[in-house]
Structure 1
Amino acid sequence: MAANTTPAQTFPHDFIWGFATASFQIEGSTNVDGRGKSIWDDFSKIPGKTQDGKDGDVATDSYNRWKEDIELLAEYGVKSYRFSIAWSRIIPLGGRNDPVNQKGIEFYSKFIDALLAKGIIPFVTLYHWDLPQALHDRYGGWLNKEEIVKDYVNYAKICYESFGDRVKHWLTMNEPWCVSILGYGRGVFAPGRCSDRARSPEGDSSTEPYIVAHSVILAHAYAVKLYRDQFKSQQHGEIGITLNGDWAMPYDNSPENVAAAQRALDFAIGECIYADPVYLGHYPESMRMILGDRLPVFTPEELVVVKGSSDFYGMNTYTTNLCKAGGDDIFQGYVDYTFTRPDGTQLGNQAHSGWLQDYAPGFRSLLNYLYKRYKLPIYVTENGFSVKDESMKPMPHVLHDEERVHYFRGTTSSLRAAMFEDGVDVKAYFPWSLLDNFEWADGYITRFGLTYVDYDTQKRYPKDSAKFLTQVSYRSCPCRLALLIAVFL
């Protein structure tokens, strides 16, 4: 179907539509205006750590082109923009006793003001994987619970004080599973620690991921406590955490594979390893059985702070996995993932990312599962698709990204069904990502953008997927349809 075909979905007028990004992936200007290093600065420069050998020094140059990006958001007519603040722009050395960088505060302050001037709601992520390098060097960063929690809460406090009069939607952490498992278990993300000495000279994959996970949960919880105790009554905002997790389906109806799919949800994909402590006050039993005393224990005092420390469920999801019992990957709960059904057919269209196929019914199932389990409103803070070999195609083909349009047609239809047929309380939807950008260990090879970025010129070009999603969002405000026609026709 062509991208200018109006989809059938209708959504409430107060539903929050937006696009999302992260600071390190788009800003560039890594040594400008007092910014300190993050753990991704040097890590991305180590040979072999990114697929194309490139780093985030320029990215999409959004530190300099932020006005252009805001104009693009306004043209798309989105209600909100989810972006992250770079901790090391605010506190270059990161710590609670280190100097604050006023230029960093001024940058984000004028950025927020410009969003609001365009009628765009700022939806702010405090931490999207870019820990100040100085804290990692000083005491091990997330491996040191006593220090990192205090330093993170201090950073959060500065942000509340500086921006909270205008920011009413806060996310403390983005995808803690990636922080802990990919950064300290598999060693493929910064700081790249793991037990594989061919990959990293330091690290212990059997213990460090769970130490880090524990620290991240506590940092989140105490930052939320600070907001609720000292800022919420005056600033009237909401705050929570956003977790990654994809739907898990049994490969077949055998009892062992049915149990494996549940264990995947509990253990390996990032939902319950973080969500159960935050929303229910404990780790899943399947994790305790497998990890034993490697799983850190919350003190009674910590548990009081952790339980209930999110006003909503922040949901990042991309795909669905078929699950088989077995395998040797403890981070997946000893579950094998596949996209191939027993009859040999594929679950859906294959993305460029090997871990991603297009299967819209799984999105609906996950929304239902999370809402029934945690009983809180859901904010879909990431959802997207990387078109296969997109970086190798000529621009006209890239702009007509039919596979991505197909993906979003499915997920928005599933979103509507979950809301209006199943009664799931979904408040927001943020497709990933506003722009093609630095895609972490993939470098610039993998593109998730709704807007094509020519990395040689940094010029932005809307893809059909952006036009499609803009039309879906305009269905919740038909009075703005004339503006949509003026922008894209």
Structure 2
Amino acid sequence: MSASSAALRFPKDFHWGYATASAQVEGSIDQDGRAPSIWDTFSRLPNKTLDGTDTTVTTDTYVQWRGDIELMKSYGVNSHRLSLSWSRIIPLGGKDDPVNQAGIDWYREYLKALVDAGIVSHLTLFHWDLPQALEDRYKGFLSRDIVADFERYARVCFESFGDLVRDWFTINEPNVFSMMGYLFGSHAPGRTSNREKSAEGDSQREPFLVGHNLLLCHASAVKSYREEFKQKQGGQIGLVVNMLWGEPLDDSAENLTAADEFMAQSSGWFIEPVVFGDYPPSSRKIFEGHLPKFSAEDSALVKGSCDFLGINHYSTFYIKRRTTPAEPGVPWTILHPAVELGIHDKHGNEIGPVGGVNFVRIVPWGFGKLLDWTWKKYQLPIYITENGAVCPNENDIPFPDVLDDHFRIEYLTKYADQVAMAIQRGVPVKSHLMWALTDNFEWQEGHTARFGVTYIDYEDDCKRYPKKSAAVMKEYYRSRIE
């Protein structure tokens, strides 16, 4: 870390720590009344994860959670982002289905222990693990019936945990959930037009319908919170969107416009409705016939439905206007028919060092630009809710050498620097919640992508071993928070 980095400072109320998600860490998928989620079903199908692992055990957090809180205390964090398993709280998911008190009791015990440890909880209602019963009942987020069921689930959570939680996130990355689950078919429920991957699905239509219903779920939950709970509980609520930064390849008009379109399609798809009440104009034009229309009532419900914006950010890419026609039916070009992403500038230089997964590169300047752009455009306080990296070949490095994670240290410290510099420029960034507390079940990558600052030995009862990055980030924030 440079001398200039050491001089950076964060406000005394800044939140920093690590994030997790229920389907990726809890395991114990049939314990204490919990019913299956779509990820339990999907991950057990052949060839859905790179290493054949599923959600049955993951990192065994349902059993080992007390030790994880002790780990967080030793790491010096003041905040932790976690998500709730809908099917652990309402196993069948629906508005008229019974609540599982055992699930509520477990989460309350966990959340109380975080309070006792001096760690602030940032709680996500939905991080992709939809109750399988709702997928079976009406195809989940393809049906508007999901809105009433999600609103009731959210209300149960507000009632059950609102005395322990002030920072609520409704839905994690609706853009990624819609795209990966209904365009590519690589995530649960695995729907796509590619009949080699799925017997059902329409990649041209379903991602946009699912996205629309996700927005209505979010806004309905926010309305309930604001009308029934906010005044009494004193909390705040927002949405979490995955945001890449799209840097124009050059200053040509066509590439500047292409970068604007990329940002609109990739993240404005969900941010603009919750800020302005409708989808981006360029998206309306490009996806005419596929993008649902908001009724006046729905637009009013969605508009202004965020107290803050949660941002998950991993990397930056160069953007240029597509010069050849997009190949019909290719999933990526359905969402981005007129733009191309690249990793080389106009001189052939790579944008930044690549990590152990191809969508993560160290490009801190892109993060800084994203924070400035987001604040200028949307004028919402920003919570960084995920930000992290896998080291090159990390899953193949033997223990204990794997604990010396220099690539992750370089990534996290440089990105934290960008947060501090953005705050100095007047951007209201309130948190840096890094991905992830532990190595975990990384969706289609299974256990092959290790994002954690804590190593998990999957062959030895998921024993935990702190990586060097945990100690470095502890000292980083200890010395910089006022």
- When normalised by structure 1's length, the TM-score is 0.94
Q: State which of 427, 437, 442 in structure 2 corresponds to 1:439.
A: 442
1:448 paired to 2:451: yes
Residue 487 of structure 1 corresponds to none
Q: State which of 423, 426, 433 in structure 2 corresponds to 1:423.
A: 426
1:476 CA drift (Å): 4.2
For 1:419 and 1:7, the matched residues in 2 are separated by 15
For 1:294 and 1:155, the matched residues in 2 are separated by 29
For 2:16 and 2:115, the matched residues in 1 are separated by 15
Determine helix, strand or coil for the equivalent of 2:318: strand
Residue 156 of structure 2 corresponds to 158
Matches within 5 A, 1:124-139: 124-139=123-138
Residue 466 of structure 1 corresponds to 470
Residue 66 of structure 1 corresponds to 65
Instruction: Write the letter of the residue equivalent to 2:236.
Output: E
Residue 485 of structure 1 corresponds to none
Relative to structure 1, the CA distance from residue 6 to residue 410 in structure 2 (aligned partners, 3 Å threshold; closer, same or farther) is closer
Instruction: Write the letter of the residue equivalent to 2:284.
Output: R
Residue 107 of structure 2 corresponds to 108
Residue 36 of structure 1 corresponds to 35
Q: Is the CA contact 2:242–2:312 (under 8 Å) kept in the aligned structure 1? A: yes
1:333 CA drift (Å): 4.4
1:322 paired to 2:318: yes
1:397 CA drift (Å): 2.4
Instruction: Write the letter of the residue equivalent to 2:453.
Output: L
- Deviation string 1:279-315 (CA, Å, 9 cap, x unpaired) is 1111111101111121111111111110000000111
Task: Judge which range, 397-406 or 127-136, deviates more.
Answer: 397-406
1:38 CA drift (Å): 0.4
1:47 paired to 2:50: no
Q: State which of 221, 228, 250 in structure 2 corresponds to 1:223.
A: 221
Matches within 5 A, 1:117-196: 117-145=116-144, 147-196=145-194
What residue ranges of structure 1 are gaps of 5+ in the alignment?
479-489
The number of residue pairs the alignment matches comes to: 472
- What root-mean-square deviation, in Å, do the aligned CA atoms of Structure 1 and Structure 2 show? 1.4
Q: State which of 372, 377, 382 in structure 2 corresponds to 1:373.
A: 377
Determine helix, strand or coil for the equivalent of 1:292: coil
1:352 CA drift (Å): 1.2
Determine helix, strand or coil for the equivalent of 2:376: helix
For 1:313 and 1:6, the matched residues in 2 are separated by 26
For 1:332 and 1:464, the matched residues in 2 are separated by 39
- Deviation string 1:395-452 (CA, Å, 9 cap, x unpaired) is 23211111111111211111111111x2111111101000000000000001111111
Q: Is the CA contact 1:279–1:308 (under 8 Å) kept in the aligned structure 2? A: yes
Determine helix, strand or coil for the equivalent of 2:289: helix
1:8 CA drift (Å): 3.6
- Deviation string 1:176-201 (CA, Å, 9 cap, x unpaired) is 01111110111010000010000100
Instruction: Write the letter of the residue equivalent to 1:179.
Output: F
Q: State which of 356, 361, 367 in structure 1 corresponds to 2:360.
A: 356
Residue 330 of structure 2 corresponds to none
Residue 311 of structure 1 corresponds to 307
For 1:90 and 1:438, the matched residues in 2 are separated by 21
- Deviation string 1:14-53 (CA, Å, 9 cap, x unpaired) is 1111210000000011111110100000100111111111
Residue 82 of structure 2 corresponds to 83
Determine helix, strand or coil for the equivalent of 1:65: helix
Instruction: Write the letter of the residue equivalent to 2:349.
Output: T
Matches within 5 A, 1:191-270: 191-267=189-265, 269=266
For 2:421 and 2:306, the matched residues in 1 are separated by 25
1:232 CA drift (Å): 0.6
Determine helix, strand or coil for the equivalent of 2:270: helix
Determine helix, strand or coil for the equivalent of 2:274: helix
Determine helix, strand or coil for the equivalent of 1:293: coil
Q: State which of 396, 399, 404 in structure 2 corresponds to 1:400.
A: 404
What residue ranges of structure 2 are gaps of 5+ in the alignment?
328-332
1:463 CA drift (Å): 1.2
Q: Is the CA contact 1:33–1:103 (under 8 Å) kept in the aligned structure 2? A: yes
Residue 18 of structure 1 corresponds to 17
For 1:9 and 1:449, the matched residues in 2 are separated by 25
- Deviation string 1:320-361 (CA, Å, 9 cap, x unpaired) is 011121244121343211112222221111011112211000
Residue 484 of structure 1 corresponds to none
For 2:275 and 2:401, the matched residues in 1 are separated by 44
Q: Is the CA contact 1:194–1:204 (under 8 Å) kept in the aligned structure 2? A: yes
Instruction: Write the letter of the residue equivalent to 1:301.
Output: E
Task: Judge which range, 344-353 or 209-218, deviates more.
Answer: 344-353
Determine helix, strand or coil for the equivalent of 2:28: coil
Instruction: Write the letter of the residue equivalent to 2:273.
Output: P
For 2:421 and 2:122, the matched residues in 1 are separated by 25
1:472 CA drift (Å): 2.1
Residue 412 of structure 1 corresponds to 416
Determine helix, strand or coil for the equivalent of 1:357: coil
Q: Is the CA contact 1:11–1:475 (under 8 Å) kept in the aligned structure 2? A: no
For 2:20 and 2:133, the matched residues in 1 are separated by 24
For 1:276 and 1:241, the matched residues in 2 are separated by 12
1:284 paired to 2:280: yes
For 1:354 and 1:191, the matched residues in 2 are separated by 23
For 2:69 and 2:132, the matched residues in 1 are separated by 29
Relative to structure 1, the CA distance from residue 182 to residue 398 in structure 2 (aligned partners, 3 Å threshold; closer, same or farther) is same
Q: Is the CA contact 1:13–1:476 (under 8 Å) kept in the aligned structure 2? A: no
Task: Judge which range, 317-326 or 221-230, deviates more.
Answer: 317-326
For 2:257 and 2:450, the matched residues in 1 are separated by 34
